[in-house]
Amino acid sequence: MIRDQRSGDSTMAVRVPVGEQWLQGDLRVPADARGLVLFAHGSGSGRHSPRNQYVARALEARGLGTLLIDLLTGQEEALDLRTMRLRYDITLLATRLTAVVDWIRQQPYLSSLPIVLFGASTGAGAALVTAAARPHDIAAIVSRGGRPDMAGRALEHVDAPTLLIVGGNDTRVILMNREAMAQMHGRVALEIVPGATHLFEEPGALEEVAQQAARWFETHLAPITTDAPVGRVSIAR
């Protein structure tokens, strides 16, 4: 069980069932949260990514809940470190991410929160596929140094307002993002952070990403009407 988080914003460990396996996540929900940011990691990253952790803390300071979750199991991560294959399996990552969205909707305490997606690298492609699969559940999307091109035909079916953030020196990924934009019919914007490279390691670059993401989410969040009770979140064991 997870206690009612309205009394605080400490990190709670969660396990989300996917078939016969479990995904490990860290949930933080500030008091009176306006929405829940679900992170989609990619390219060998996970919930402990220092970059996504930084963005998560910044979003929480703006009144947003966060769920950072590993889309691969421990065994799959070990395999991916050797083969580097699963991190590019957008179908697998999107299937897992969609399962997490469905799980959130089943939790009494979380079900009233609008869901927004923050995708990084290949995780951005998975986020867009999930948004196309669950158009009524996703309020907005932000991609950080993402590969939206990997979403393929799903791009045409993304209704959620999407912000693509790319480093100004990440020229190859800028081109991929522009090509993906041309296939999208919903609202989409591209923001380029001058002087930043793919991982936004330059001074102030990641802070700019967090600020732009917060503004985008705040602009597009809308409460979901629900009769779900507020109280405790049941975690399957």
Q: What is the mean pLDDT of residues 183-194?
A: 96
Written in H, E and C, the secondary structure of 115-138 is EEEEEECHHHHHHHHHHHHCCCCE
pTM higher than 0.85 for the full model? yes
Residue of 215 and 225 predicted with greater confidence: 215
CA distance 128 to 107: 23
Q: Which residues lie below 8 Å from residue 221, measured CB to CB, with a gap of 6+?
A: 34, 35, 114, 116, 139, 140
**Sequential DSSP letters for the chain:** -B--GGG----EEEEEEETTEEEEEEEE--TT-S-EEEEE--TT--TT-HHHHHHHHHHHHTT-EEEEE-SS-HHHHHHHHHH--GGG-HHHHHHHHHHHHHHHHHSTTTTTSPEEEEEETHHHHHHHHHHHH-TTTEEEEEEES--GGGGGGGGGG--S-EEEEEETT-HHHHHHHHHHHTT--S-EEEEEETT--TT--STTHHHHHHHHHHHHHHHH--PPP--PPPS-B----
Least Cα distance to 222 among 106, 140, 104 occurs for 140
pLDDT tens readout for residues 56-73: 999 999 999 999 999 988
- Given a cut of 80, whether residue 166 has pLDDT beyond it is yes
Spans of all domains in the chain = 5-220
In a 13 Å sphere around the CA of 44, the CA atoms on its Cβ side amount to 8
Could you tell me how far CA 11 lies from the centroid of its own chain?
17
pLDDT digits (tens, 9 = 90+) for 29-40: 998 899 999 999
Give me the pLDDT at residue 4, please.
36
Lookup: tokens for 84: 């580097």
pLDDT (0 to 100) of residue 9 = 53
pLDDT at 5 over 50: no
Q: With contact defined as beta carbons under 8 Å apart, do 176 and 167 qualify?
A: no
The one-letter amino acid at 66: T
Tokens representing residue 28 in the block = 């933080």
Q: Does position 78 have pLDDT exceeding 80, yes or no?
A: no
Query: Is residue 110 over pLDDT 70?
Result: yes
Return the CATH number of the domain spanning residue range 5-220.
Answer: 3.40.50.1820
- Does 197 have pLDDT greater than 70? yes
